[in-house]
Amino acid sequence: MDTAASHSSSSSIMFYDFLDKMRNPASLNLVKSIKSFIVSFQFSSANPENDSERVQEFFSTMEAAIMEHPLWAGATDDEFDCSMEGLEKYIMTKLFSRTFAISPEDVRIDQEISEKIHLLQSFLRPEHLDIPPFLQNEASWLLAEKELQKINAFRAPREKLHCIMSCCRIINNLLLNASISENHVPGGADDFLPVLIYVTIKANPPQLHSNLKYIQLYRRQEKLVSESSYYFTNLVSAKSFIVQLNAKSLSMDEIEFEESMQAAKLDSEVSQVEALQAQMDPISSTKMHGMKKNIDGRSNYPYMEAEPGELTVEDVERLLSLYKDVVTKFSSLCRAVRHPSATRTKPSLPVPKGRDDILLQLEGQSQIIPEEKEEVHKVKSFPVKN
């Protein structure tokens, strides 16, 4: 699980050292405590705040026990600390599925943030956050993004936090180099935070909310202090900015912002339908079932109830023509929304909000214009400016 990480080697040495010590017969009592703690967790229902308190308390108890343990007699602060890191990793790896992104609320928030970032990605540019040109460095940003995107490759809070720290370190190097080469006074947080926010949006790190919450709750408390705490807080801050982001948050015309968000929403709908159609066997796909539910189980749409085994060759032909029809209608709709000459004066232009609306609008129309299929691909490759 560590293989993706650059720091994995030192991290695993640390961890194997801990495991080695635990295999020593002398540490039997410690092993027993650890095992019974993990078992005790399986029998209680999840409650993040309470669970965090229990885990942190256990870390403290174990810290005291290890400090007095003969196996660690004469150990340096570093060795002792490594053992504690090993303990954190062991416990949290075992308890991961029980403690990470555990509530439906967390899952929902993760989804919402990820979707919002996805929309923002399609039009947000560094200028919108007033990031000066000399700090715009695609290569550094990409490295920083990759660090954030690694976060789910790890289960130990320490390693997840390490991804954040590495991302921030890369940004800081960029700021430092820029200030040297541009002879610019280092801007501190005035420069740092906007770049971190931009990098976070470009990265769209998986389960951002849950990862932050997990680190906050389960990283050994005495380690989430000082510099780590500062950079951790900056990512919390970036997340919070993204969640609250509206037309007023950016250096961007408010109407332009709203229009860009609408266009991005529609674009993402198109991609979803395309992905759906691309499966060539849409009827059996789970998304198709989802769609069926969305339209109140109405059967105006042929094949919605069909199973793959029931289809004949004629059905395939008919499905293809239906597919073309849907795509055509969709692309016309997209064009209508993409060139909303009337939106500024007539904001009531019917902009479809979701798949349901679009499908309802398509209902009853079945003209086939296959040539227009091309258009969808243009729509899909909606320009993404950095």
Partner 1 sequence: MGCSSSLPDRSTGRLGGLNVSESGGVADAKNLRVKLVLLGDSGVGKSCIVLRFVRGQFDPTSKVTIGASFLSQTIALQDSTTVKFEIWDTAGQERYAALAPLYYRGAAIAVIVYDITSPETFTKAQYWVKELQKHGSPDIVMALVANKADLHEKREVPTQDGIDYAEKNGMFFIETSAKTADNINQLFEEIGKRLPRPSST
Number of Cβ within 10 Å of residue 169's Cβ equals 14
Nearest in space to 147 (alpha carbons), one of 335, 7, 29: 7
| Closer of 81 and 258 to partner 1 (Cβ) | 81
Stretch that binds partner 1, among 6-14, 113-121, 281-289, 357-365 (CB under 8 A): 6-14
186 counts as binding partner 1 under rule CB under 8 A: yes
Q: How far is the CB of 284 from partner 1 (least distance, A)?
A: 43
Q: Which residues contact 280 (CB under 8 A, 6 or more apart)?
A: none
Whether 56 and 221 have beta carbons less than 8 Å apart is answered as yes
Give the range of 111-119, 141-149, 277-285, 364-372 binding partner 1 by CB under 8 A: 141-149
Q: Is 175 in the site for partner 1 (CB under 8 A)?
A: yes
Q: Tell whether residue 1 is a contact of partner 1 (CB under 8 A).
A: no
Query: Which of 36, 103, 240, 284 is close enough to bind partner 1 by CB under 8 A?
Result: 240
Nearer to partner 1, 58 or 330 (CB): 58
21 binds partner 1, rule: CB under 8 A:
no
Residue 22 touching partner 1 (CB under 8 A): no
Angle, alpha carbons 109-264-115 (nearest 5°):
15
Q: In sequence order, which ranges of 43-185 are alpha helices (DSSP H)?
A: 48-67, 77-94, 96-99, 104-121, 138-149, 157-181
Counting contacts by CB under 8 A, is residue 223 touching partner 1?
Answer: yes
Two tokens, residue 134: 């000399």
Among 3, 73, 74, 78, binds partner 1 (CB under 8 A): 78
Q: Supply the minimum distance, in Å, between the C-beta of residue 140 and partner 1.
A: 4
Least distance (Å) between residue 329 CB and partner 1: 40
Q: Is the CB of 77 or the CB of 371 nearer to partner 1? A: 77
Which amino acid makes up residue 303?
Answer: Y
Instruction: Check binding of 351 to partner 1 (CB under 8 A).
Output: no
Q: Which of 278, 265, 247, 287 is nearest to 334 (CA)?
A: 265
Q: Taking the CB of residue 69, how many other CB atoms lie within 10 A of it?
A: 17
* 215 is a contact residue toward partner 1 (CB under 8 A): no
Contact 169, 70 (CB under 8 A): no
Q: CA distances (Å), 120 to each of 5, 167, 378, in order? A: 28, 20, 19
How many residues in the shown chain lie near partner 1 by CB under 8 A? 64
Q: Which of 237, 271, 294, 343 binds partner 1 (CB under 8 A)?
A: 237
Q: Is 229 in the site for partner 1 (CB under 8 A)?
A: yes
Interface segment toward partner 1; rule CB under 8 A; list 113-121, 231-239, 254-262, 314-322: 231-239
DSSP 318-382: HHHHHHHHHHHHHHHHHHHHHS-TTTTT-TTS----SHHHHHHHHTT-----GGGHHHHHHHHT-
Q: Which residue has the tokens 């919402």?
A: 112
How many angstroms separate the CA atoms of 383 and 385, rounded? 6
170 touches partner 1 (CB under 8 A): yes
Under rule CB under 8 A, residue 16 binds partner 1: no
Give the containing element (helix H, strand E) for 186. none
Per CB under 8 A, 14 contacts partner 1: yes
Contact code string over 241-280 relative to partner 1, x by CB under 8 A = x--x----xx------------------------------
Crossing angle of helices 226-244 and 208-218, rounded to 10°: 150
**Closer residue to partner 1 in complex, CB, 215/261:** 215
DSSP 79-95: HHHHHHHHHHHHHHHHT
**21 vs 162, which CB is nearer to partner 1?**
162
Q: Name the residues that contact partner 1, by CB under 8 A.
A: 6-11, 14, 77-78, 80-81, 85, 130, 139-140, 143-144, 146-147, 158, 161-162, 165-166, 168-177, 179, 185-190, 192-194, 221-231, 233-234, 236-237, 240-241, 244, 249-250
